Amino acid sequence: MNDFIKSIFAGLCIGIAGTAYVALGGGPFAACLFAVGLISIVLFDFNLYTGKIGYIKSYKDIPKMLLILLGNVLGCMIIAMTSGVRADALVEAKLLLPWWVVFFKSIWCGFLMYLAVNTYKEHKSLIGIIFCIPTFILCGFEHSIADTFYIFTVDTFPIAIFGKVCIFWLMTVLGNAIGANLFKVLKLFEKNKNL
């Protein structure tokens, strides 16, 4: 239960960061402010899917990741319903992207997220977060939890595009997971090469 509550709080943090981003209309300053979300999460040890998925050790960790994902979604939904911001144009532009573009954009976001979180874990430094978060946003990479928040801010979705929203979201969740674990594989490869 504690893990689930910490997951909801992580979703709240990302939702607040997303609110700032939308309210400012995007851009470099808004991208920098978004880092506040992940800084809060690592400092208070909340459970963010994109920050944890790179640390799974076996298939037994999958249920916990799904619980974290559910908590993150719930936290984002709470902020989206109460923040008063709307990201209709942003969501519309994202949904126009082909699924494979979304998938690869999500991989590179996951890669940067692992780099940001791992820098904090190994060196107790926020420098990775301060630079990696604005970088993935300005590159247009897709963060599954941030995208969840943006999607929830849209008032209504016609049934005709509900399937498209689901495919988009699934691509971001899978892509983030692959990107985070790709960085881990590269680290292991480098370590073995030096032995």
> Does the pLDDT of residue 28 top 60, yes or no?
yes
User: Which residue bears the tokens 């897709």?
Assistant: 142
Domain ranges of the chain: 2-193
CATH code for the part of the protein at 2-193 = 1.20.1080.10
Q: Over range 102-111, report the average pLDDT.
A: 98
Contact present, 121 and 187 (Cβ < 8 Å)? no
Q: How far apart are CA 85 and CA 35, in angstroms?
A: 19
Q: Read off the pLDDT of residues 114-168 as tens digits, 9 standing for 90 and up.
A: 999 999 999 999 999 999 999 999 999 999 999 999 999 997 766 667 889 999 9
Q: How far apart are CA 127 and CA 15, in angstroms?
A: 22
Q: How far apart are CA 142 and CA 168, in angstroms?
A: 10
Contact present, 48 and 72 (Cβ < 8 Å)? yes
DSSP state letters, 87-124: -HHHHHHHHTS-HHHHHHHHHHHHHHHHHHHHHHHHH-
Tokens of 195: 């032995």
What pLDDT is recorded for position 195? 56
> Does the pLDDT of residue 14 top 90, yes or no?
yes
Q: How far apart are CA 192 and CA 130, in angstroms?
A: 30
